[in-house]
Amino acid sequence: MIQPATYNITVPQNATYSQSFQLKDGTGAALNMTGYTVSAQLWTAGKASKIADFAFAWTAQTTGQFTLSLSAAVTAEIGASGYWDMLVTNPDGSKDYWLRGSATLNMGYTA
C-alpha cells in the first residue's frame, strides 16, 4: 500500500487549470508508468458531492509525466474550495491513491 503524497492546488475560477507532474521513486528516478491508468477528482469537504473530474493526459508515460487539467467551463461551475486525489490503477488491477490535497478556489473577478 502506498501512502499518498500531499500536493495542495489552487484552481482559478473561470479560467483553465493545468498542472504537469512527473512521478518518481524514492531515489528520484522517473517511474515507467506503462500499463498504468490514472484518474483524479475534486470533491467537497467530507466527500459530500463530486465537484469535477480532472482531464488526464500522459505526456511521457515511460518517464511518468502527465498533465491534469480542468477547462474554463468546468472551473466556472466550481463554487467552493474542496479536496482532490489521484487514483492509480496498476497493470495487475490493484489500485492505490498516490496524490491528494486541498483544492483552494481562487475566485476570479473578470468573466
Pull the grid cell for residue 70. 480542468
Q: What pLDDT score was predicted for residue 1?
A: 65
Among 85, 67, 71, 88, CA closest to 20? 67
For the stretch 20-64, pLDDT in tens is 999 998 899 999 999 999 999 999 988 889 999 999 999 999 999
| Mean pLDDT along residues 60-87 | 95
111 part of a folded domain? no
- Residue 63: domain span: 5-106
- Give the pLDDT score at 67: 97
- Answer whether 64's CB lies under 8 Å from 23's CB: yes
How far, in Å, CA of 93 to CA of 104, rounded? 32
User: What CATH code is carried by the domain that includes residue 32?
Assistant: 2.60.40.10
pLDDT of residue 111: 65
Question: What mean pLDDT do residues 70-89 have?
Answer: 94
